[in-house]
Chains A and B, each alone.
Chain A
Amino acid sequence: GQQLNQSPQSMFIQEGEDVSMNCTSSSIFNTWLWYKQDPGEGPVLLIALYKAGELTSNGRLTAQFGITRKDSFLNISASIPSDVGIYFCAGPRGSTLGRLYFGRGTQLTVWP
Chain B
Amino acid sequence: KAGVTQTPRYLIKTRGQQVTLSCSPISGHRSVSWYQQTPGQGLQFLFEYFSETQRNKGNFPGRFSGRQFSNSRSEMNVSTLELGDSALYLCASSLAGAQFFGPGTRLTVL
A and B pair up: no
